Structure 1
Amino acid sequence: MAAALTALALVSVANPAAAADPVRVVALGDSLTQGYGLPPEEGFVPQLQGWLDAEGHDAIVINAGVSGDTTAGGLNRLDWTLADAPDAMIVALGGNDLLRGLDPAGSRANLDAILQRVTAQDIPVLLVGIPAPGNYGPDFKRDFEAMYPELAAEYDVRHYPNFLQPMTDKQEAGQSFTDLMQSDNIHPNAAGVALIVTAMGPEVAALIGEVKAQAAPATQ
């Protein structure tokens, strides 16, 4: 028995990754993250968890989405979010700033403050953008859409340009995307979320890989 325990201990030392805890990914967002209007198992976070599990990634995705939240709301609850001790964070905020027509300068300042605090703790981030409609004018659209790639570059974090990319793809192909949306035409239905997860999943997987690379012992 003692010899067996010694052998097990040696295996654990030789392969520390085998005993590592799952990577904790906190998704900080609004109703798109929270899963508004969908059964719990069909929202963004559960479907992303299922995609990661199927792809063999040892990670736990924690839902920190709050329906109706703006970038200011995300910033205001950042202490609570960080209390979940994330290893990585998905930041997907801005949709409600758009719906309310809030000044992009304020949205940018809020995202800047979030990224500053999170990266100061060496937590890898995936910053997820969303396209602005043209009805607020070209200056608004330019400033809003520019803040995501510019902040990602400033803080050297990962950037995924468009949470709703599958819908945008259909629109740009001249097709209706209402089959992917709930009746409000704002929130994706379960099929829409599945396509979002398929599109964004590889970026989340890369984020998890970044965490594991940070944790890996330096080679001699």
Structure 2
Amino acid sequence: MYKFIMTLILALCGVAATAGPVTVAALGDSLTQGYGLPEGDGFVPQLQRWLGDHGADAVLINAGVSGDTTAGGAARVAWTLSPEVKAMIVALGGNDMLRGLDPAVTRANLETILTTADQAGVKVLLIGMQAPGNYGPDYKAEFDAIYPDLAAEHGALYAASFFEGLQEISSDPAALQPFMQADGIHPNAEGVTRIVAALGPKVLELVRAAQ
């Protein structure tokens, strides 16, 4: 009986020790950081509220840096993944693409990020990015393939685009103006709301996978 009681106590203590919210780091650029928006209207705070509304016990860390490239993300991922972080959203590559950087370099940097997460036992949601056609079909094909390829190789969850929630509305940039800031690049608060609604289920899946 004594052994049974002690086993039960130890089991309960183990449950108590592992219970609690899942800490999720959102590694990204200005889209993650919340550029041009009041603090509560950015991607991370809106996603935090969405997860709470959908019953997820999670705490999000805003690891977005405006203007960051995949090289910047690779340089800081190790210290972003502090011991309490159990999951990570990776939304990088937009600035690489805007600068016309070699897709092979972007792939190598993202490979570093995902490998670091693998070694830390951190679950990842990789958010894809698509290059415009003005760089030529070869560039676009090579760049666009990076994200699904790496997600498959590393067993990461995958979302095709950060802007999926807006792309569902229209493919015409003019039709999306009400959801964008004046620069036409960054979403406004309503745009972020729609982005979060589309990405939220994938992040919820990430949180559950990390529990």
- Asked if 1:136 is matched to 2:135, the reply is yes
Residues 156 and 19 (structure 1), Cα distance of their counterparts in 2 relative to 1, 3 Å cut: closer
Cross-structure match for 1:41? 40
Identity of aligned residues (%): 54
CA RMSD across the alignment: 2.2
1 CA distance for matches of 2:153 and 2:72? 22
Alpha-carbon offset, residue 167 of structure 1: 2.5
Query: Deviations 1:179-219 (Å, cap 9, x if unpaired)?
Result: 1100000000000000010000000000011011xxxxxxx
Q: Which residue of 1 aligns with 2:94?
A: 95
The CA deviation at 1:112 is: 0.6
Q: CA deviation at 1:170?
A: 2.9
TM superposition shift of 1:78: 1.4
Q: Is the 8 A contact 2:33 2:44 kept in 1?
A: yes
Secondary structure of 1:199 counterpart: helix
Cα deviation, residue 130, structure 1? 1.7
Which residue of the partner structure matches residue 82 of structure 1? 81
Secondary structure at the counterpart of residue 170 of structure 2: helix
Give distance in 2, aligned partners of 1:15 and 1:83: 22
The equivalent residue for 2:112 is 113
Q: Which residue does the alignment assign to 1:200?
A: 199
1:1-220 to 2 correspondence within 5 Å? 13=12, 16=15, 20-83=19-82, 85-172=84-171, 176-212=175-211
**TM-score scaled to structure 1, two decimals?**
0.87
CA offsets per residue over residues 56-96 of structure 1, 9 Å max, x none? 11100100000000000001111221136311000110010
- Tell me the residue number matched to 1:3: none
Matched letter for residue 139 of structure 1 = D
Closer, same or farther in 2 for the Cα pair 1:121/1:14, shift >3 Å?
closer
Instruction: Give the deviation of 1:174 after TM superposition.
Output: 8.6
Q: State the 1:13 CA deviation.
A: 1.9
Gapped regions of structure 2 (runs ≥ 5): none
Give the 3 Å change call, closer, same or farther, for CA 188–174 of structure 1 in structure 2.
closer
Equivalent residue of 2:85, what SS?
Answer: coil
1:80 and 1:119 map into 2 onto residues whose CA distance is 14
Q: What letter matches 2:182 in structure 1?
A: S
SS at the partner of 1:159?
Answer: strand
Q: TM-score, normalised by structure 2?
A: 0.90
SS of residue matched to 1:56: coil
Distance change (3 Å), C-alpha of 1:112 and 1:174: closer
Structure 1 counterpart of 2:157, one-letter code: R
**Can you give the 5+ residue segments of structure 1 that lack an aligned partner in the other structure?**
1-5, 213-220
SS at match of 1:27: strand
Deviation at 1:132, TM superposition (A): 1.2
Q: Which secondary structure does the structure 1 equivalent of 2:158 belong to?
A: strand
CA displacement at 1:171 relative to structure 2: 3.1
Deviation at 1:126, TM superposition (A): 0.2
